[in-house]
Structure 1
C-alpha cells in the first residue's frame, strides 16, 4: 500500500533531490511552537526514546536530540536523510536515521516513548490512515505518546496536503489511542499561506487496541 497521496508522490517527494532546501516551501528551519511547548512544560523529557516519523531534513529530530532525547528519524527519501545528516552535524547532536516506509518502519514493537508526526499525517492517503496509525501504535510502548501536527480544514485553500477535519484525525486514532489534547491553533505564517490553521493532537497509546 502506498502511504502518501498521489499529489505528494508525483509532485513533492522528489523535491529533496531536485530543489535546494531553502526553496522548499515547507522547510522553515523552525519546529512547531506546539512541539517546543511540550519540551518547555516537561511533557517531552531528556532520556525519552522518540521516533520522528517522516523526519525529512531533520529539523524536529535534531531539536529533540538537542534537548536530550534519544531520537530515531524515519524517512523513505535518501536525499532527505542526507540533508538531515548535515543538519545533525551542524547541531552537534547524535541520533539514528532509518530509511524506511512510514507504514513499515522496521523498528521493534514498543520501541518508543514518543512518536512525533510533524506534518506527515495530512499527506497520508485516506485508505492508508488506519495502517499508519496502527504502525505508530506498534512502535510505541503502551502508555506512550503520539504528537500530531497538520493542516486543519480552516487552513488557507490551495494545493498541497489534505485539509483535515476533526473526524479525519480522530476516527483512525481512537482504536489505538486515548485523546489527551486535540485542538486547532494558528501556526507561523508564510508568504504563500499567511493564515495557518493547524491541528495539534496529543494521543496516548492504549494498553490494548479496541476491537472493531
Structure 2
C-alpha cells in the first residue's frame, strides 16, 4: 500500500532537488513551535530515542539532535535526505537520516521513546491511515510518546493539503492502541499563502 497519492509522491520526488527551500510553501527554517515547548518543559529530553517520520530537510530532527536526543529522520525523498544530512553537518549535529516509507520504516520494533510527525498525516490517503497508526505503534516502546502536527479544519481555505478533523485523528490513533494525552488547535507561523495557520497538535501514549 502507498501512503500518498501518486501525484503527491511525484511532487516530493523532485521538489527537494529543484527548488530552493525558501520557495517551498511549508518551509519556514524553524523547528515546530510545539516541539520547542516540549524541550523547554522537559517532555523531550537528552538521551531519548526519537524517530521523525517525514523529516523533510531535517529542521526538526537537527534541532532535537542539538538538544541531546538520539534522532533518526525518515523520508521518502532521497533528495530530502541529502539536504537533511547537509543541515546536520552544518550544525555539527549527530542526527541520522534514512530514506524510507513511513508505512514500512526500516527500524526495529519498539525502538523509539518518541515518534514525531510534522505535517505528514494530513497528506495521506484515507486507506493508509490505519497502517500508519500501526507502524507508529510498532516503533514506539510501551508508554512511548507520539507527537502529531497536522493541518486543522479550523484553517481558512487555500492551497495545500486537505484539512483534518479531530474525529479523523482520534479515529485513527484509537484508544485501544493509544492514550490521547491532549489534542488542541494552535496558531503557527503564518505564510504568504496561509496567513491563518491553525494546526492540530496531538500527544498520544502507546499502550
TM-score (norm: length of structure 2): 0.96
Distance of 2:149 and 2:91 partners within structure 1: 23
Structure 1 runs of 4+ off > 4 angstroms?
Answer: none
Distance 2:78 2:11 in 1: 17
In the alignment, which residue of structure 2 is the partner of 1:142?
A: 142
Cα RMSD for the two superposed structures: 1.2
Deviation at 1:168, TM superposition (A): 1.1
Post-superposition offset of 1:11: 3.7
CA contact (8 A) 2:159 2:193 kept: no
- Separation in 2 of the partners of 1:12 and 1:46? 32
The match for 1:166 is: 166
Within-5 A mapping of 1:61-210: 61-174=61-174, 175-206=176-207
Local SS of the residue matching 2:106: coil
Contact residue 7 and residue 160 of structure 1 kept, 8 A: no
Aligned-pair distance for 1:12? 4.3
Q: Describe the superposition over 1:79-103 as per-residue Cα deviations: whole angstroms up to 9, x where unpaired.
A: 0001001100111111221111000
1:8 aligned partner: 8
> Partners in 1 of 2:180 and 2:135 — Cα distance?
18
CA deviation map 1:28-57 (0-9, x unaligned):
110121110000000011000000001010
CA distance in structure 1 between the aligned counterparts of 2:56 and 2:196, rounded to whole angstroms: 24
Q: Distance in 2 between matches of 1:5 and 1:163?
A: 16
Aligned length in residues:
206
Question: What CA deviation, in whole Å up to 9, does each residue of 1:64-92 have, x standing for no partner?
Answer: 00000000110111100010011001111
Distance in 1, matches of 2:204 and 2:35, equals 14
Structure 2, gaps ≥5 residues long: none
In structure 2, what is the equivalent of residue 209 of structure 1?
Answer: none
Structure 1: give runs of 5+ residues left out of the alignment: 207-212
Is the 8 Å Cα contact of residues 123 and 161 (structure 1) preserved in structure 2?
Answer: yes
